[in-house]
Amino acid sequence: MNAATGASLHGDAPNRGLITLSVMLASIMQALDNTIANVALPRIQGSLSATQDQMTWVLTSYIVATAIMTPLAGWLAGRVGRKRVFLFSVVGFTAASALCGLAQSLPEIVAARVLQGLCGAALIPMSQAVLLDINAPEHHARAMSVWVMGVTVGPILGPALGGWLTDNYNWRWVFYINLPIGILSFAGIWLFMVETKTKRTPFDFLGFLALSVGIGALQLMLDRGQQQDWFNSLEIWVEAIVSALGFYLFVVHMLTTDKHPFVSPALFRDRNFITGNVFIFIVGVVLFATLALLPPLLQELMGYPVVLTGLVTAPRGIGTLLAMVIVNRLMGRVDTRWIIAAGFLMTAWSLQHMTHFYLQMDSAQVVWTGLVQGLGTGFVYVPLAAITFATLSPVYRNEGTALFSLVRNIGSSIGISAVTTMLVRNTQMFHARLAEAVTPYGDGLSALPRAALTTPQGLAATNAGVTGQAAMLAYNNDFKMMMILTLVAVPVVALLRAPRAKQATKPDPEAMVME
């Protein structure tokens, strides 16, 4: 996975704006597909005559394929050139999107989603590497602001856009919308991006195989754990053991091989890079777990339609956009570590207020807590994306950005799996506790007619009310858990180092590579 450097390491590149637009179109396209298909699953299920259990593979296949392919992106960019990897990825992802829209059976759409994941995995990490390369070091914060907007706004807007397309057109347009975006992105990259130098690094098949097995088994375990009752299932035990064995073999091989390992151990000698990956793991947990919780809370518990759900959660993206403007002005004037710490504290503050959500609240609370959380996420994500690579040699930029994206994806998978499991189990626990207090003689039910507990219709209505309250308490517990995790991350900010200007721009001897 050792990679070559980009075309412009020490100054702003020509056509910088057009290159930025082209690569960010590709990144937004890939980020959208992480969430845009979720709301269309019931329509896809009916159209393809599939069961709910079978439909989970439409999401799982994409997630697993993306996770396995992400670490390979850095090696491919170094071996064949970043521009070629980008072009093939955009073409493959766009073609796979068309195949998803044309699918007439479950195996067809699952196969197309696998192709989507394999081709789209390189888009986000390589776009980050491109923006770091085509901008001078003093402009990295601004470049990372643009990159973060594409990475975070895509998943936020995905459910609303997917719901609107499904309701007004057809579920197939959830995938067809990628076609014009992919064509524009391909044209811009083809015309304006300069190819990077390449390096004939041998491919470490054993390292790649061990890492792929570890990641793939972990993603399957996380995605199917709740459905299979976790470690009460033989399948989950097998996936956990295979994953642990794969990661163990990968680490041992990486540290002991005399040849070129798939992941360079030099990456883990950079303190900023290691600490940045710890933080991006936490950001992945908090950001994507919250995005996974809000739509079902608003739609299932509070009766919001899909489009309205998208509208009230959209201010989260506005907060990130506002953070981009503020952080650009603060970077270079304020210690980056203070900016990141402030972002975590804002995120924790918004999560603390979300622990007080209740079923009768109005949408204003969702809007302003989302706005503050988006602001906090931007304060963390933007400087973090810059400082993580500030002291890392540019020769490791391709594989570093790939690993950065992989860690974020693993964090989001673990976060979503954890909060979903907690939600289901806490809902059951709170339901049992609340149901114990439901009697004809309880003070809380003194105003209810006796028929509420003596007729089937009354019992059903009472049970629905208890279930709703239990679910709301379970959501509040999830938000509390993420608030605690965010607060725990604040002291770790001290481990980051403020980069020196010379250190950030010093050329690395390994960057002198051969065509």
Residue 501: per-residue pLDDT = 44
- Per the domain annotation, does 432 fall within a domain? no
The two structure tokens encoding residue 329: 């002005």
Residue 51 is assigned to a structural domain of this protein: yes
* C-alpha dihedral sign at 330, 334, 340, 342: negative
CA 174 – CA 33 distance, rounded (Å) = 9
User: What is the rounded CA–CA span in Å between residue 348 and residue 375?
Assistant: 11
At residue 452, the pLDDT reads 57
Q: What are the pLDDT digits (tens) for 68-118?
A: 888 888 778 878 888 888 899 999 999 999 998 888 888 888 899 889 888
Q: What is the DSSP letter of 248?
A: H
pLDDT score recorded for residue 505: 40
3-state secondary structure 281-329: HHHHHHHHHHHHHHHHHHHHHCCCCHHHHHHHHCHHHHHHHHHHHHHHH
Residue 363 lies in a domain: yes
Provide the residue type at 162 as one letter.
G
Query: What's the confidence (pLDDT) of residue 105?
Result: 86
Q: How many domains does the chain have?
A: 1
Q: How far is residue 352 from each of residues 296, 437, 477, 481, 486, measured CA to CA in Å?
A: 19, 28, 10, 10, 11
Task: Give residue for tokens 């979720």.
Answer: 38
Q: How far apart are CA 282 and CA 377, in angstroms?
A: 11
Neighbours of 309 (CB within 10 A): 23
Q: Do residues 39 and 162 lie in contact, with contact meaning Cβ atoms separated by under 8 Å?
A: yes
Q: Specify if 435 maps to a domain.
A: no
Listed range (145-149, 183-187, 268-272, 378-382) with the worst mean pLDDT: 145-149
Max mean pLDDT among 164-173, 243-252, 284-293, 329-338 falls in 243-252
pLDDT of residue 359: 85
Distance CA 58, CA 285 (A): 22
Query: pLDDT-based confidence at 19, cuts 50/70/90?
Result: confident
What is the pLDDT, as a whole number, of residue 431?
A: 82
Write out the residue range of the structural domain in which residue 82 sits: 16-203+262-427+470-511
Report yes or no on 109 lying in a domain. yes
pLDDT reported for residue 512: 32
* 295-336 confidence digits (pLDDT tens): 788 878 888 877 777 778 778 878 888 887 888 788 778 888
Most confidently predicted of 14-28, 47-61, 347-361: 347-361
CATH number at residue 156: 1.20.1250.20
Residue 454, both tokens: 């003596």
**Helix/strand/coil (H/E/C) assignment for every residue in 171-207:** CCHHHHCHHHHHHHHHHHHHHHCCCCCCCCCCCCHHH
Other beta carbons within 10 angstroms of residue 417's beta carbon come to 20
CB 198 within 8 A of CB 513: yes
Q: Whole-number mean pLDDT of the chain? A: 79
Is the residue at 456 inside a domain?
no
Across residues 4-9, what is the average pLDDT?
42
Kindly state the DSSP code that residue 9 receives in the 8-state scheme: S
Rounded Cα–Cα distance for residues 469 and 266 (Å): 51
Q: Is residue 252 part of a domain?
A: no
Any domain includes 491: yes
- Range scoring the smallest mean pLDDT among 48-57, 214-223, 255-264, 372-381: 48-57
Q: DSSP character for 334?
A: B
